[in-house]
Amino acid sequence: VERAKRVSPTCLISFERNRYSVPASFANRPVSVRVYPNIIAIAAEGQILCEHVRRINRSHLPGRTIYDWRHYLAVIQRKPGALRNGAPFTEMPDAFRRLQIHLLKRLGGDREMVDILALVLQHDEQAVLSAVELALEAGVPTKTHILNLLHRLLDAKRPAPDIDAPQ
């Protein structure tokens, strides 16, 4: 089943009493919601924007809100303070949550945490998580240390180029 919906200013669409997050760049815009037995797919501009596991609510209780914290990265880049109490960020991976606890104790920690989360937009999320975990284990949870570890991890995955050196 496919239905046309409009994304709310809070980047959510409603379907069957539940609300599902959509990437922030589509706030206040029309999207197409494709409903499958187990999945809700949200499409716009001829491509699938995101997918969520479909939550079927058979009780008379109010619906749930299903967030994907990655959808709100553009928002926190403009407003880093939203990271502190934002509902979508309660579902981040454990390593990011532990890092957030360390960084928010410092002045400018909000901005530093946002910059680290934004790395997920350019690099593999598992590589960023690994770098964060290594930084936490080393006791140096800073942006520069995490960037250094991330680049080391990424360089280790790339095969060394074959160089035909003269004898």
Concatenated DSSP letters of 107-122: TTHHHHHHHHHHHHHH
Q: Band of the pLDDT at 23, cuts 50, 70, 90?
A: very high
What's the pLDDT at 20? 92
Whether residue 113 contacts residue 99, with contact meaning beta carbons closer than 8 Å, is answered with yes
What's the pLDDT at 106? 85
What's the pLDDT at 159? 59
pLDDT digits (tens, 9 = 90+) for 54-67: 888 777 778 888 89
What's the whole-model pTM score? 0.77
What's the pLDDT at 22? 93
Residue 134 pLDDT greater than 80, yes or no: yes
Contacts of the segment 125-134: beta carbons below 8 A, 24+ positions apart? 127/153, 127/154, 127/157, 129/93, 129/95, 129/96, 132/95, 132/96, 132/99, 133/95
Closest Cα partner for 47 from 17, 20, 67, 22?
22
